[in-house]
Amino acid sequence: MTRRAVITGVGHYLPERVVENAEFEATLDTSDEWIRSRSGIERRHFAAEGETTSALATHAAKAALADAGCEADDIDAIVLATSTADFTFPSAATMVQAALGMTKGFAFDVQAVCAGFVYALSNANALILSGQANRVLVIGAETFSRIMDWTDRSTCVLFGDGAGALVLEAQEGAGTKDDRGILSTDLNSDGRYKDLLHVDGGVSTQNTGFLRMQGNQVFRHAVEKLASTANTALDKANLAATDVDWIVPHQANIRIIQGTAKKMGLSMDNVVVTVQDHGNTSAASIPLALSVGKQRGQIKQGDLIVAEAIGGGLAWGAVVLRW
């Protein structure tokens, strides 16, 4: 028998405020058509004043726990992917731990920007496979609206706020590619590309800063690197793209999503797409899409899923799992 990390519950949360593309027309030289044609985004959610990343994460965590039929005290660890934590420290994960009433175990944040959830999922998988935890709550949550330059139409129209979460549980499998759970992971980074996507501030600079992006360059790297990491993860699991039921990609841009699927030889009918309703929610986008995909009836038990993402760093990676 082989120990596997199996998803037993999933949930998400979106702030109440919905911002349609047309709302930007009053302050920027842009239009609904311009935004849709370049990104596929139609609307996004923005957190209310005082609504923090840990608050969004807590809502999503509660939904995932309910879906899994778990209580907070059933959880051994929380791994939270975010680039927009409430404070420099403590971690947003420990704040969620307290909000859930969880008094045992441990919690920590992972920061790999838009690839953060793939990194968090890989870390949580390792915790379970090593026996350090039996149940891990894995969360992606962001309030990117706090780091937008509202005069930069090339970035501020692309991002949104939200959170998604899932419960990973240790279960025994046969050790084959037909097992449920995480079957393989692949993580990568290359710090030479920092300037392509970054925030021009931070603790050491005593300035929060704003998100800056060279969109054309990011696009060029994204399609190649996402298809490559997805195929590498599939190879590690002795699987091929033809075995995949669903790609659940980071929801950054519909053209990147389409280009990656095409490069992998897969139809868009095999892709869970939520970018039109959420925009780019960074580390929250994959768990949001998993939760929405399950709600829609797209994702079913036994489906083979590839989740892939790329973000600032550059950092990128993929996870292959069976639902």
* Residues designated as active site: 114, 250, 280
CB proximity list for 323: less than 8 A, separation 6 or greater: 7, 180, 299, 300, 301, 302, 303, 304, 305
Contact 134, 170 (CB under 8 A): yes
Measure Cα distances from 301 to 4, 9, 178 in Å. Answer: 15, 11, 12
Q: Could you tell me which of 140, 94, 87 has the C-alpha nearest to residue 116?
A: 140
Instruction: Give the C-alpha separation, 180 to 166, whole Å.
Output: 15
CA 213, CA 144: separation in Å to the nearest integer? Answer: 14
SS3 assignment, position 261: helix
- Whether the bond between 287 and the residue before it is cis, its omega within 30 degrees of 0, is no
- What is the per-residue DSSP string for 163-193? EEEEEEEEEEE-SSTTSSEEEEEEEEE-GGG
* Chain centre to alpha carbon of residue 295: 17
Decide if 116 contacts 82 (C-beta within 8 A).
yes
How far is the C-alpha of 54 from the C-alpha of 100, rounded, in Å? 11
